[in-house]
A and B are shown apart, each in its own frame.
Chain A
Amino acid sequence: MPKPKIAFYWCASCGGCEEAVVDLAEDILGVVEAVDIVLWPVAMDFKKKDVEAMPDKSIVATLFNGAIRTSEQEEMAHLLRRKSQVLIAYGACAQMGGIPSLANQFSRDQLLRFVYEQAPTMADEPKSRPQTSFQNNGHALTLPQFRNVVRSLDQVVEVDYCIPGCPPTPKITKAAVGAVLEGKLPPKGSVLAPDIALCDQCPRKGSKPADLSFTQFKRPHMVKLDPELCFLAQDVVCMGPATRGGCESVCTRGNMPCSGCFGPTSRVRDQGAKMLSSLCANVAAKEEKDITQTLSGIPDPVGTFYRYSLASSLLRRKVDLPIDAKKSS
């Protein structure tokens, strides 16, 4: 009996999600035994044309990580959508745009100019930019187009499920893969993690006072963090109340506040806006200048509240940025 086919693909990502699959450790042997991996660029030698040659919907599930930044990534998203029964956005980048989507605060031109001209490590000359096509001795060399906008997977193709996290934990990954293989999946569109905020499971929950009132905010590097006290009680922004649980509180147990990588619960449309709403409601100050003073402890609201979710937020991208129609620079 042929084993179910599984594919992994990566787009604009750091590789952490691939590591997460590897982090299944001994369990990976079980996975490898149970399935046929037909695509996994980081670890195996299958090519795009191999996938193209497969019949549509012959892949049981594709775990697709990384945000969509280039035309090639869009193409692969469409391809794998066609070829898969279940397309899973794996990790925060595929689910919400992830940290790469913070690039939506800049125009393509600003980014390319920095990387290829202004960065301190660049030599002065020659100033070059990648081209989408280049003729060399009668051969056409091509590169994918670098898009103006970073996107989450579901802004490109229809996505069936999300496994959240930056990266997803081995436990969540195993549970999700198991559910797929057993056919025991929740309704389409679900995020495969508990639909309740992290505070529910966080070991610091008991230490959080019920009368929290902020007179200041500090960033983690400014405070010697108490290893047991709720971060919000230490005036440090923790995204836990606005973030799904299911990650076994790895960050808070590692003495760092939650930064929101599991995304919001299903009842929230914009994770950053909700966290902003909650924190501000609990600020103590009543006079305008005192409020300004307190809020100055959050110098970068976009980076703080939308660290992983900017592409999927209601505004998606800094709205006054241009769209550059040219191929490359």
Chain B
Amino acid sequence: MNTNGTNGNNGNNGDIRIGFYICHCGHNIAALVDCPAVAQYADKLPGVVVSRDYKYMCSDPGQELIQQDIREHKLNRVVVASCSPLLHEHTFRDAVAAGGLNPFFFQMVNIREHDSWVHTDPAEATAKAKSLAHAAIRRVRFHKALEMTRVPIHPDVLVVGGGITGIHAAITLANAGKKVFLVEREPSIGGHMAKFDKTFPTLDCAACILTPKMSAVRSHPNITLWTYSEVVKVEGYVGNYVVTVKRKPRYVNEELCVGCQECIKACIFKEPKFPDEFNVGLSKRKPVYIPFPQAVPQVVVIDPERCIQVKTGKCKKTCLEACADRQAIDFTQKEQRVEIKVGNIIMATGFKLFDAKRIPQYGYGLYPNVVTSLELERLVTSSGPTGGEIILRDGRHPKSVGFILCVGSRDMKTNRWCSRTCCMHSMKLAQLVREHTHADVTVFYLDIRAPGKGCEEFYDKSLKEGIQFVRGRVAEVTDWALAREEEGKLVIRVEDTLAGFVRRIPVDMIVLAVGMEPQADAQEVRRMFNMSCGTEGWFLEKHPKLAPVSTFTDGVFIAGCCQGPKDIPDSIAQAGAAAAEALALIDKGYIEQEPNTAFIVEEDCSGCKSCVPLCPFTAITFDATKQKAQINAALCKGCGTCVAACPSGSIKQNLFDDEEIFSEIEGVLAHA
């Protein structure tokens, strides 16, 4: 350890007494940067009272050195030149605080990630270190004493989305004793998983593993389940959200309906006439319906667009008569808006499937026997529209089926990402098709992705079951027969890249493995919850590796496919992770935020309102009485955009104020 002098003369710049420390970081910095020279250089700068270089500043002795100097030399500012602040700013702030000085009188200089690790010439690296040190030494004089702000956390949680992810998160939190609001916009929870027959790779029955969880949600005393409801407004900030939920009218009283479905039998529509959403349009339903037999809540719903009574007021209302003793049907029901207070929000809004019509050459919507994977899923399910029989539109059983993978995935023209589950999903369906129909099955793929436990074995099993795999992106599906065997069939034209030539393969039925996409209203939703979306449109996680379920908005978490395509095990894992993050905040009781917030100097503000629309967190409002703008420090995230924009310089920012930044600019340019 070198002591480069405690030059008392430099204390004559007012009261500022700066301690400067440069870390060798073993050889990481010292191998290239001449640390003693930098310390000597810093020693001569105005305000510097102590200037040292040391091997490992972040170690205990290094931190103690700072604390000792604070006491002995009455330091009121500390600058450490070492690694990145993203790594150790927190460490050194704590060390400074332990020495009795406000931790925000500290500034860090990055001379490792930004200097010694990225340059090769010692003279240049040292000059750069001096220059950056100079900047920090100038800047730190303008630092002020600040406190981390503490925000209390309301213990209730909102879970948005009632698919498997939302269900698991809600149950986990409810089991931990927290009150959960689970809001789902469809009339029943269950999400996409409720439509599946069997799940890969174990081929368990989806309904068998899902319905117990759906039941648990229904009966858990800590869960308030609101289906057929949507969030319409979110106000507040972490720990203190006020959420407005719109409860759409079912025209059926949930408390009274027992799900006997007599009203459906009695409906004036003798035959079902309208496309059934649950069966993806493959069957029909009446205006009064229950989404599927295991729906939770087990309550019918009346479709306001199709019900004659709701639309015209002129109907015999046979449904009312059928429910005479329970009187659960209520045509006077109106939309309700309810406000709830929660501390944390978990988004589990899932995905939507790619619209296969966007790739017209695959013939979806044109040829009736081209179906999507989800449509086939419904055909295969024993409780589905065909009772589990895989049949063509004309009722025949297919003798040959082709699966086209990567429809709307890994595609420069539509969606560039891999939807992660379709290879496994398609192989599962392929096996089920073989099992149900013994048809010839060919899978047309780009790559087979089978990560996860049991999945590679599942792929092997598919091969052993005689499913053919052809590698190539299908060019088109056509019904133009060029040969006898193609007549009456759909022909798949594809370049078989392993064989090396273009093939025409006739099949009876084609299944498109449509990819996953963000929900259609993802952008609106993310704005409502103050989140970002990535460039692909999925909700953006705070860090792709280290924080996959957190967002940049404290108190809002994401889980499941709304964060990106994934399968059921991963969705459940993320649901648990999000619940754990929320529990960590709730149980601690408060959250600490870095005080780099902006604030308006009231006497300077002219009330020009230029700043008010700039804040994406709505932290800036205009006070009509005072005729001045004001910033809510709890909402302010500290980006500083308003500070840069204020045309009269009337907004200041803690830690990143104009004076501080101008002094850094001056400092980096002061040394050649």
Contact = CB atoms under 8 A, between A and B. Distances in A.
A–B: direct contact at CB < 8 Å: yes
A274 B608 CA distance: 14
B649 interface: yes
B658 to A, nearest CB: 8
Contact of B614 (A205, A245, A281): A281
A212 B646 CA distance: 14
B648 A281 contact: no
Contacts of A119: none
Given A200-B606, A208-B608, A282 B649 contact: no
B669 to A, nearest CB: 13
Interface magnitude class on chain A = 20 to 34
Given A205-B627, A281-B614, A197 B609 contact: no
Interface string A234-245: 000000111001
B645 A277 contact: yes
Contacts of A277: 644-645, 647
A210 B615 CA distance: 12
B606 A195 contact: no
Interface string B516-546: 0000000000000000000000000000000
A159 interface: no
Interface string A251-288: 00000000000001101110000110110011000000
Interface string B604-639: 111111101110000000100001000000000000
A50 interface: no
B607 A200 contact: yes
A294 interface: no
A198 B606 contact: yes
Contacts of A265: 604, 648-650
A267 B609 contact: no
Contacts of A205: 607-608, 627
B606 A211 contact: no
B647 A274 contact: yes
Contacts of B662: 269
Given A241-B647, A274-B649, A281-B644, A211 B613 contact: yes
A265 B604 CA distance: 9
A198 to B, nearest CB: 7
A13 B647 CA distance: 28
A199 interface: yes
A265 B606 CA distance: 11
Contacts of A282: 610, 613-614, 645
B609 A210 contact: yes
Contacts of B609: 199, 208-210, 212
A314 to B, nearest CB: 11
Interface in B639-672: 641, 644-650, 658, 662
A79 interface: no
Nearest to A198: B606
A287 to B, nearest CB: 14
A242 B614 contact: no
B496 to A, nearest CB: 42
A215 interface: no
Contact of B647 (A208, A209, A210, A242): A242
Contacts of A212: 609-610, 613
7 contacts: A197-B648, A197-B650, A265-B604, A267-B648, A267-B649, A267-B650, A278-B645
Given A205-B627, A212-B610, A242-B648, 5 more contacts: A199-B608, A208-B608, A242-B647, A278-B647, A282-B610
Q: Which 5 A-B pairs have the closest CB atoms?
A: A267-B649, A197-B606, A242-B647, A199-B608, A200-B606
